[in-house]
Structure 1
């Protein structure tokens, strides 16, 4: 059998089987990717624990527990505080007395009075309709929460898979990396170069994301305190966590708070908070994040900025890591090819 024919057949078989493997793993790709990210970021923690327990399995289990607690503990406590805050606000807001108080301070009052006169309604009747409508909407939202339980269950399963895979990434990570490196048709020097790029991009992206979240939390807390928002530290912490949400990010928190201030009639405070959100919080996200990522990843600010935004648009939250990582790998391969060309064609 001709050698070239064998190579072609083998390539087709590998491509088909590789595609099938990808298809089988497709539902778990997000969990696998996040496990790889956390495995790279927290691998020094695993190595530190391993120095004392001497058992890779025990060290991996302990590292996984630390990671899970570090993720779930703040989110659980924040959710509890937010529920308490919303419970304190909602009953008051959905009563006629609460709506009357907000209406009396609203800058829309002249416009609303003209609308009421057109329909021959009194303020009390209109507020009653609004309160009933708000209550109906609230009940509808609560009744539809069950529809979202499927998504919650899916998220829980994905998180459990990520935790399960993370254990093996900690324990056998070096073996996996070694196996992948053996498949790369590169010299040992270039293999280490590519591995270093992957590690630098992942670590800088996660650390940069945490730093940006902290900065946004601090700026937003000061802004909320300035305009008199109740529990500014709680809302600042919520803003920090929301900064990880793709596209909308922290505006998911400070935007509705601006609307709340406008409706209350606190126009100046609403404008101030909007300026803080757009100029202060927005600048932290758009400027600080690319600066922090590009430092260790050795990427230009422009391409870091574009790959972060493009990655989030294409892959969601995971795109914060995937976007810069793909570009870094692309430039790494180009540098390797350039080195080959210079070696084959010396000046």
Structure 2
């Protein structure tokens, strides 16, 4: 009967755990990002706590407020600038409908082999502008629906971001207590190897944070410098977009290539050449040097394991995969390595009974 009672208690505990996970399911993304933010900036927490004479709650509140400023101010600037550029784009389309295209630039005719054809195509599009807009108009509704759906996704992402910034306060304040709880739970599950895997997960996440976020920040700063030198408008907005797109493979060229084309369009060929070279060898080139260096620092995992985890996790889980992917591969790699290196101790051979000596036989 006691065994049946124990089994019933275990079933009830599993049901309670499953129900709790179900309740938390809508907040997994926000909880994950709050944990990443707190972990990435955790060295500041004990330092600020000491400066505030042990007031951990105040330190957590100040760090949370710092994150809000760091995230909210660029988002507000980005939203204002995007609204202005959307308004400019709308006015440009209306002007093209009424006045048509401007005269073709002089450099267009100078393109070898294709110059004359491109000029003729330019005038053809200008003459048939009304017909082209009429043919495109039925598809504008689909484009509007697509933009509305993307806007809804962006809005949901902003809500999750705000919730993450609220939850990060509790990770700062209760971080040591949570770490102790996780450590005790893992010790109950896997014994003395728990500390090894905790250090492995923490080290992997820290290396990915340093590599991915650090490289994205470096690319954003370099892009901002290049845009300022070349005189590209809305350089700050483009720098923020470069940071966001740097988190995905081949993301920065989606910003600096159109900016280079814009310079060519306006006849700034010297700055266009500069920005093209700067984007190819500096903005995009730093990704091939800085990211592997930062990810490989201070770890004994093969670099290819971490990089495959970053890119594969990004494809499998979205932005959360930036950290989930390499962490899963690192733990799996360590488990397989431990299993291969494990050598079971062979049981000792039974000792044979010693044969009686001649003295014993004579006795």
User: What TM bracket, shorter-length normalisation?
Assistant: 0.7 to 0.9
State whether structure 2 residue 211 is matched by structure 1 residue 208.
yes
After superposition, what is the alpha-carbon deviation per residue over 1:145-178, rounded to whole angstroms, capped at 9, x for unaligned?
Answer: 6555533442233223222322221111211221
* Distance in structure 2 (CA, Å) of the matches to 1:196 and 1:155: 31
TM-score (norm 2): 0.72
Structure 2 unaligned residues grouped into runs of 5+: 348-363
Q: Distance in 2 between matches of 1:72 and 1:172?
A: 24
Q: CA deviation at 1:109?
A: 6.0
The residue number in structure 1 matching 2:70 is 70
Equivalent residue for 2:199? 196
Structure 1 residue 313 displacement after superposition:
0.7
| Distance (Å, rounded) in 1 between the aligned partners of 2:248 and 2:79 | 20
Residues 201-249 of structure 1: CA distance to partner in whole angstroms, max 9, x if unpaired?
22222232232123323543565578x4524843661353233443452
Q: Does 1:34 align with 2:37?
A: no
> Does residue 322 of the first structure (1) align with residue 324 of the second (2)?
yes
User: Who is 2:356 aligned against?
Assistant: none
Secondary structure at the residue paired with 2:251? Answer: coil
Q: Whose relative contact order is higher, 1 or 2, with alpha carbons under 8 Å and at least 6 apart?
A: 1
Among candidates 164, 168, 175, match of residue 162 of structure 1: 164
The CA deviation at 1:298 is 3.2
Match of 1:95, SS state, is: helix
Aligned residues: CA RMSD: 4.3
Question: Please, which moves more after superposition, 292-301 or 229-238?
Answer: 229-238
Query: Judging changes above 3 Å, is the alpha-carbon distance between structure 1 residues 202 and 88 closer, same or farther for their aligned structure 2 residues?
Result: same
User: Counterpart of 1:313 in 2: which secondary structure?
Assistant: helix
Please report how far the alpha carbon of residue 312 of structure 1 lies from its aligned counterpart in structure 2 after TM superposition: 0.8
Which structure has the greater CA radius of gyration?
2
Match in the other structure for 2:185: 183
Whole-Å Cα distance in 2 between the matches of residues 263 and 136 of structure 1? 29
**Which consecutive unaligned segments of at least 5 residues does structure 1 have?**
none
TM-score by length of 1: 0.75
Corresponding residue for residue 258 of structure 2: 256
Give matches, 1:141-160, under 5 Å: 148=150, 150-160=152-162
Q: CA deviation at 1:95?
A: 2.9
> Which structure shows the higher helix fraction?
1
Pick which of 270-279 and 37-46 moved more.
270-279
Change (3 A) 1:214 1:201: same
CA distance 1:56–1:280, shift in 2 (3 Å): closer
Aligned CA distance change for structure 1 residues 267 and 307 (closer, same or farther; 3 Å): farther
Confirm whether residue 24 of structure 1 aligns to residue 30 of structure 2. Answer: no
SS in 2 for 1:100: coil
Structure 2: how far apart are the matches of 1:75 and 1:103?
A: 36
> Contact between 1:220 and 1:277, CA under 8 Å: does it hold in 2?
yes
CA contact under 8 A between 1:103 and 1:109: conserved in structure 2? no
